[in-house]
Structure 1
Amino acid sequence: MFKRIVIALDLGEDPKRLTELIKEFMDERESKIYLIHVVDLDSAGAMAETLKSDDEAALKNIAAGLSQKGLDVKTWVAVGSPVQEILAYADEVGAELIVVGAHNKGFASSIILGSVSKDVIKHSKLPVLVLKDRASK
């Protein structure tokens, strides 16, 4: 069982589904979930800070819903390189597992794509759980 789990979240993903999928890897009474969302500076450009502010509100809303289910959830929205930010945050919080998505859709798809997942796996010293989008075949 992992006690500190970082979930790199595309805001288009269903957090309830993610939580259901990782339950077998966590102890609901002792585990802490750290949600991170990264605004890719290369993609967002001058809008990065505006997007960050909007995304912080959305991520806190997701965290509140998960907290109501009794989960200990913390959030972080970063601006920068998704891979570097995810790995740095995992290190900062002492994570034992990183969860990333394999495929996403929509505007936010530039944030966590297959290439980001691959690079997180390649550079992480931690186990990485890759969740496949239901729409992916």
Structure 2
Amino acid sequence: MYKKILVPMALDHGVSNHTLEIANALRAADGSVIALHVHEAPQGSVSAYLDEETVLAGFEKARDDLADKLSGQPDVEPVIVKGHSARTIIDYADANGVDCIVIGSHKPGLSDYFLGSTAARVVRHAGCAVHVHRTPSQ
């Protein structure tokens, strides 16, 4: 059983309920679960067309969406940070003494073999145990 489990949450995917169930099953009696959403700021030329207020509104919406996803999960701590998904998940886990990451993954496509999905990068570079929940094929 794990004392501190991190569950990265992509707010636009439906896998979160499964990964939270897995985290709760793996949690020690005195353990904790952290639901982490990494908010990626708009990149490249898109950012030139967005003012600060719009970017802040997007961050606040993500914070509200995370709270909505976690309603009914009283023992899960919500955390939202800004950064690049895979790197930020790994850095957060390292900095906060996480001993297991439970992450969802889609069925990999050809581009994932060349670029790598977030889950694949976390598996390769995390300094702790990683449990990957693969969603069933659609």
TM-score w.r.t. the length of structure 2 is 0.74
1:58 corresponding residue in structure 2:
65
2:124 corresponding residue in structure 1:
122
In the alignment of these two chains, the number of paired residues is 123
2:104 corresponding residue in structure 1:
101
Aligned residue identity for 1:7: V
CA RMSD of aligned residues (A): 2.5
Structure 2: segments with no counterpart, 5+ residues: 108-115
2:19 corresponding residue in structure 1:
18
Q: Offset of 1:48 from its aligned partner? A: 4.4
Q: Deviations over 1:36-76 (max 9, x none)?
A: 11122355744543322111111122333111xxxx22111
Which is helix-richer, 1 or 2? 1
Q: Is the 8 A contact 1:98 1:126 kept in 2?
A: yes
Which is strand-richer, 1 or 2? 2
C-alpha distance in structure 2 between counterparts of 1:99 and 1:30, whole Å: 18
C-alpha distance in structure 1 between counterparts of 2:42 and 2:5, whole Å: 27
1:109 corresponding residue in structure 2:
none
Structure 1: segments with no counterpart, 5+ residues: 105-113
Equivalent residue in structure 1 for 2:85, among 82, 86, 94: 82
SS at match of 2:64: helix
C-alpha distance in structure 1 between counterparts of 2:124 and 2:18, whole Å: 25
